[in-house]
C-alpha cells in the first residue's frame, strides 16, 4: 500500500465497511502498528481525506478515546485526530494538567520536547486493550503539523494535551506507548480502576516497586 492509487482504494474500501461511521481498531501484534507511516502528500482525493477524518473521529468517540492515529485503523499515513473534552473532575484535571483539547486533525505532525521537565502518569491505548502503564513524557512539546487543508501550524502544548499529541504522533513512527512505559507499572484495567485510578502514580510506584525519579 505505497502508491497513491492503492492508498485511495484502501481508504475507500475501509470507509465502505464502516458501521455507523465506525471502523475496527487494530491491536498490538498487527504489523501496521509497527510500520512508520508515510507523509500525506496528496495520495488521497480531498473528499476521501475528509471522509477518512470523519470516520477516525467517530471511531475515536465510539471507543471512547482522546486520540486515534491512522495506522490504528490500518491506514499507513501520517494522520491523527485528537479531542479531549471529557469532564474528569477538578483534582485529576489539576494534577495532570488535563485541560480541554478541542477536536483537530493532525496531518504530518512532528514533535519535540520543550524544556527539561518530564512528568509520569498512567496512560492507555485503544490498540493495547485491557491495560494501562506509566509513561514519562515531556511536560511540554512543540508540535509542527498541517491541517487537512494544508495550513501549517507550529505551536506548543502543555500537560495532558502534550501527552496526547506525543502519543498519537508516536503511532505514526510505529511506536506504541508500551515501548516507553515503565513495565513494572503495567496494570490490568480492572485492577487499575480498583487500586490506582487517582491523579498521581506515586502510590502505585511504592506498591509495585517502580521508580518515578530520574526518567
Active site residues: 168
162: contact with Zn ion by CB under 5 A: no
CA distances (Å), 92 to each of 61, 110, 188, in order? 21, 28, 20
In contact, 24 and 63? CB cutoff 8 Å: no
* Spatial CA neighbour of 154 closest among 162, 163, 146: 146
Q: Rule CB under 5 A: is residue 70 a binding residue for Zn ion?
A: no
Q: Does 101 bind Zn ion (CB under 5 A)?
A: no
Q: Among 125, 135, 186, 205, which residue sits at the site for Zn ion (rule: CB under 5 A)? A: 125
Q: Which helix (H) or strand (E) holds 205?
A: helix 202-208
Shortest Å, Cβ 150 to Zn ion: 26
Peptide bond into 207 cis (omega under 30): no
Count residues near Zn ion (CB under 5 A). Answer: 1
Rounded least distance, CB 127 to Zn ion, Å: 5
Which residues lie near Zn ion (CB under 5 A)? 125
Residues in binding site for Fe cation? 125, 167, 171
Amino acid at each position: 500500500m505505497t502508491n497513491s492509487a492503492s492508498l485511495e482504494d484502501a481508504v475507500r474500501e475501509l470507509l465502505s465497511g464502516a458501521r455507523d461511521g465506525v471502523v475496527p481498531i487494530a491491536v498490538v501484534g498487527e504489523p501496521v502498528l509497527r510500520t512508520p507511516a508515510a507523509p500525506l502528500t496528496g495520495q488521497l482525493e480531498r473528499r476521501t481525506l475528509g471522509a477518512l477524518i470523519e470516520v477516525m473521529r467517530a471511531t475515536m468517540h465510539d471507543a471512547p478515546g482522546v486520540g486515534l492515529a491512522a495506522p490504528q485503523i490500518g491506514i499507513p499515513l501520517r494522520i491523527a485526530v485528537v479531542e479531549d473534552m471529557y469532564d474528569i473532575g477538578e483534582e485529576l484535571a489539576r494534577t495532570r494538567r488535563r485541560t480541554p483539547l478541542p477536536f483537530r486533525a493532525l496531518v504530518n505532525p512532528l514533535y519535540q520536547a520543550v524544556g527539561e521537565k518530564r512528568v509520569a502518569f498512567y496512560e492507555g491505548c485503544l490498540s493495547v486493550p485491557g491495560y494501562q502503564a506509566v509513561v514519562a513524557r515531556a511536560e511540554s512539546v512543540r508540535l509542527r503539523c498541517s491541517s487537512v487543508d494544508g495550513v501549517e501550524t507550529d505551536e506548543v502544548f502543555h500537560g495532558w494535551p502534550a501527552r496526547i499529541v506525543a502519543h498519537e504522533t508516536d503511532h505514526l513512527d510505529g511506536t506504541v506507548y508500551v515501548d516507553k512505559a515503565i513495565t513494572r507499572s503495567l496494570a490490568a484495567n480492572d485492577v487499575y480502576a480498583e487500586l490506582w485510578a487517582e491523579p498521581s502514580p506515586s502510590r502505585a510506584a511504592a506498591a509495585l516497586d517502580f521508580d518515578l525519579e530520574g526518567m
